[in-house]
Amino acid sequence: MNLFETINKYKKFFEAVNLFNFIVNVKSTLFKVAYYKLGFIKGYLVLYENGTVCPRDKAIEPFKMVIQLNSYMHGFYTHGLAKTVKRETAKKGIYLK
């Protein structure tokens, strides 16, 4: 079974599936992570690179790495973007509170 067949096997009706665009490398083992969404995130699926489902005990570390990276990127995008906007407006003589 390939990667997308495995992901769709666990997908429920009306759920959208998103696959992170990067591979997680843990101790020379490569993982892919997908998440299921129906308005909000319903669950995650950690797979080996070949598309087979990873057992829970081996999935914890790559899952934590993906969540941490995603949190960092979200924080950088929201807070970092706000800081750059403040700098640009200050250069133009417009001051925000």
- Residue 26 belongs to a domain: yes
- Residue 58 belongs to a domain: yes
pLDDT at 47: 87
Query: Which residues is 40 bridged to in the sheet?
Result: 38
For 59-97, the pLDDT digits (tens) are: 899 988 888 888 888 788 777 766 666 655 555 655 555
Can you read off the two tokens belonging to residue 54?
């990873």
- Residue 36 belongs to a domain: yes
- Residue 8 belongs to a domain: yes
pLDDT at 87: 59
- Residue 37 belongs to a domain: yes
- Residue 97 belongs to a domain: no
Domain that holds residue 53: 3-91
Can you read off the two tokens belonging to residue 82?
């706000």
With beta carbons less than 8 A apart as the criterion, state whether 32 and 19 touch.
yes
* Total number of domains constituting the chain: 1
Q: Of 51, 14, 20, which is closest to residue 34 (Cα–Cα)?
A: 20
